[in-house]
Structure 1
Amino acid sequence: MSEQTPDQLIRMTYTSKATFTPLNDKKEGYDRNIINILTTSRRQNRKNKLVGALYFGNGYFFQCLEGAKQHIDALYAKLEKDERHTELKVLSLEPIEKFAFSSWEMKYAAIDQDVPSFLKSYGLDKFDPYHFTPEMTAELIHILQSANEGMAEA
């Protein structure tokens, strides 16, 4: 990969493990921790001209972010200090020509029906992005791009 400039558009996909036990709000159907993360992410990403998508399953985050390299780097430095998750691992980092998630400051994808068939196609029983190959990461990014948003603006 060629050297990247600070204002070059890049896509970074990473995974991490939640440090909290998911608590579903039965009335809303969504985890309060996730709602708080999405609210903050959307506000901060709008300010920093970042877009992306988030999937949370089996206690793991899978997040794809797009924006200027300098903004992605700054956000990743903050994410490394965020106590709501641990063991961050970058799954992919690549230059892009244009945003794939252009209309989403942070899309929370409703892909719960797609994930089991995705996992099954690779012979996996549970969602664990730490074991994803580059091909699997790219496929899940594509699924996220085409998914409907699972949660409206919080």
Structure 2
Amino acid sequence: MNSPFAASRTDSSSRATEATFPVNATEPVVARRGEFLLTSPRTRRLSVLCMTDDSQRTAWLARSLRSRGIDVIRAHHGTHGYYQIVTKRPDAVIIDSSSSDSVEAMLTGMLRPEMLLPVLVVNDTLSDEQQRRLKSHGVHCFLPRPASIQDLVDALRSQLEPE
């Protein structure tokens, strides 16, 4: 898969957006800010499913990620997250929770073994044993809480870029 952060596009309001990547293309489409791409129909923005246990934190994450050109899909609990994954097809999942128990509850209803989505968990109360258990559920990356938006974007980049 091409790097989701390697390309840009210009939307109809002539503002360049970041974090887009080509769909069904062999080479990334790259443009500098303000340039128009003739191939913009072949690109789409990166989207992430965001689940938190705090509605204000969810709103802040959504605003901050959208300002960086990343579409945010919200989910309120694990079953809703699973529904959003199946219907909206996000590129990654971010779970930000202050409680280690709620992280496990969110994951239990959401992830299935056949899903290969990168999952990032932001939490500062997880023990090593809980982290091992969550990794077996499909979590790819752990960040300490509070994590900055730049830390989240960097973690997304590291999970989504080809090695």
Same fold at TM > 0.5: no
**Structure number, greater radius of gyration:** 2
Q: Which has the higher strand share?
A: 1
Highest RCO, 1 vs 2 (Cα 8 Å, sep ≥ 6)? 1
TM tier, shorter chain?
0.3 to 0.5
- Name the TM-score, length of structure 1 as normaliser: 0.33
